[in-house]
Amino acid sequence: MDGIDGATPYTLAELAAAMAALGGFEPRPLLAVAVSGGPDSLALTLLADRWARQRGGLVWGLTVDHGLRPESSEEARQVGAWLAARGVPHAILTWEGTKPASGIQAAARAARYRLLMAWCREQGCLHLLTAHHREDQAETVSIRRRAGSGADGLAGMSAVRELRGCRLLRPLLAVSRSRLAAFLFAERQAFLTDPSNRNLRFERARLRGKDRLGDGAAVEAVLAEAADFARQRIVRERELDALMARSVSPHPAGFAAIDAAALLTAPGDLAEALLARLAMTYGDPGYPPRRERVARLRTSLAAVPRRARTLGGCRFVPWRGRGLVLRESAGAAPPQRLNPGDRLVWDGRFAARLPPDATAPVTLGYLGTERPEGDARRRAAALLPPLTHAILPAFRNDFGLLAVPHVHYRGGGAGPLPTLTFWPNAALSHAGFTVV
């Protein structure tokens, strides 16, 4: 049956094919779908629920209430009522606190993903689905072109993106908005309309209004160009992965050894891409370093290989014919206290947890100039380059140095020790660019 504007409703079989292309699901998949109540996300939630039920799994609809409009709370409850009528569990995640006076869309987006990721981590859900579709992809590419984006940006949105503790999946990037609306029409399912989608203060709204992309042919041209950039990006990422595999030796203590010769004899664009990724992982600058700074680093490493350099909160230091990538102490986070039962991510790099049955709080910081005594000092010298000792994560209590996990040191004091995992904001390797 045709729906709105003669569009053919999107089908469960088509979603199943897209999900199979994404792959990597457990036998009884647990999925979360970000659902605003608009036609796109509501259609995805209903179809994903059927897909999961066929496999003995479960879908949760997650609605973020940003609190930016008076009616937002009632709309979130309405979405929950619609889903409850179809047996789909639903949670409302509220953005609390003071809202910024400017940059509200960017702030709302950051808050939305922060809340969605936190829910997924707490529930052990590995897959978060969003309903970005064909027209969203075209708009994204158009916006990036106007902003002067490079080739990777012009590839558009990837169908898979790794987040903290889960992966973001976009199975609808090849599906038109009209086909999703036609599915809801066939289902006789009402939906919400967000007025911000028509607010011409925002660039996406202008692209949907007075600055329209144009007719279907114009959208197709944008997407065809994006597809070419996507193919090129996939090739580059595979080459980068191969370079990384042969030139980088990561260590769980939060540093890496690099084969400087292999890195510097690689093609310039690949070597610079890897240097930027190393800085993002081991320095946590919060944003990619500027291209010109990365290019200068590569040039200076090649010209004076025995001199240390810095980039994005990292030190690149010569060591025994190789190089070390270390956290720059000057940019590191201050020590942070953990109470029994606390979990935290410290310095954008380490996930720590103090068990609830711990007898006292501890503080997590870098070892600095302090050194453990006895066998631990000898182990540190034997296990790790001396240059790394200052940036080893260490736990302290009221009596002094409690533990340095990566050299197997434990000082005095009873009770369980905290757990510690290297978990950087920007992983060194991640899911490659994916097209469905």
SS3 for the chain, per residue?
Answer: CCCHHHCCCCCHHHHHHHHHHHCCCCCCCEEEEECCCCHHHHHHHHHHHHHHHHCCCEEEEEEEECCCCCCHHHHHHHHHHHHHHCCCCEEEEECCCCCCCCCHHHHHHHHHHHHHHHHHHHHCCCEEECCCCHHHHHHHHHHHHHCCCCCCHHHCCCCEEEECCEEEECCCCCCCHHHHHHHHHHHCCCCCCCHHHHCCCCHHHHHHCCCCCCCHHHHHHHHHHHHHHHHHHHHHHHHHHHHHHHHEEEECCCEEEECHHHHHCCCHHHHHHHHHHHHHHHHCCCCCCCHHHHHHHHHHHHHCCCCCEEECCEEEEEECCEEEEEECHHHCCCCEEECCCCEEEECCCEEEECCCCCCCCEEEEECCCCCCCCHHHHHHHHHCCHHHHHHCEEEEECCEEEEEHHHCEECCCCCCCCEEEECCCCCCCCCCCCCC
Are residue 139 and residue 189 in the same domain, yes or no?
A: yes
Domain-ending residue, one of 330, 353, 380: 330
Highest mean pLDDT among 224-238, 283-297, 367-381: 224-238
Are residue 320 and residue 340 in the same domain, yes or no?
A: no
- Residue 235 within a domain: no
| pLDDT score, position 4 | 56
| pLDDT score, position 229 | 96
Q: What is the average pLDDT across 415-432?
A: 90
Amino acid identity, position 422: F
- Residue 436 within a domain: no
Q: 3-17, 107-121, 229-243, 327-341: lowest mean pLDDT where? A: 3-17
| Per-residue pLDDT at 410 exceeds 60 | yes
| pLDDT score, position 200 | 41
Count of domains in the chain? Answer: 3
| pLDDT score, position 215 | 64
The CATH number of the domain holding residue 55 is 3.40.50.620
Are residue 363 and residue 395 in the same domain, yes or no?
A: yes
Domain that holds residue 377: 333-422
Paired with 62 in beta bridges are: 34, 91
- Residue 430 within a domain: no
- Residue 431 within a domain: no
| pLDDT score, position 198 | 53
Q: What is the average pLDDT across 146-162?
A: 93
The pTM assigned to this predicted structure is: 0.86
Domain-ending residue, one of 303, 330, 357: 330
Are residue 322 and residue 342 in the same domain, yes or no?
A: no
Summarize pLDDT for 60-112 with one digit per residue, the tens: 999 999 988 889 999 999 999 999 999 999 999 999 988 887 888 889 999 99
Are residue 66 and residue 198 in the same domain, yes or no?
A: yes
Position with higher pLDDT, 373 vs 343: 343
Are residue 31 and residue 115 in the same domain, yes or no?
A: yes
Are residue 183 and residue 278 in the same domain, yes or no?
A: no
| Per-residue pLDDT at 201 exceeds 70 | no
| Per-residue pLDDT at 38 exceeds 80 | yes
Are residue 149 and residue 87 in the same domain, yes or no?
A: yes
Domain-ending residue, one of 291, 311, 330: 330
Are residue 308 and residue 346 in the same domain, yes or no?
A: no
Are residue 290 and residue 411 in the same domain, yes or no?
A: no
| Per-residue pLDDT at 196 exceeds 90 | no
Share of the chain above pLDDT 90, in %: 70
CB distance 166 to 126 below 8 Å: yes
The residues, ordered by sequence, that sit 6+ positions from 145 with a Cβ below 8 Å of its Cβ are 154
Are residue 147 and residue 51 in the same domain, yes or no?
A: yes
Q: What is the average pLDDT across 299-311?
A: 88
- Residue 85 within a domain: yes
- Residue 195 within a domain: yes
Summarize pLDDT for 395-405 with one digit per residue, the tens: 999 888 999 99
- Residue 233 within a domain: no
- Residue 349 within a domain: yes
Are residue 64 and residue 192 in the same domain, yes or no?
A: yes
Q: How far apart are CA 295 and CA 28, in angstroms?
A: 47
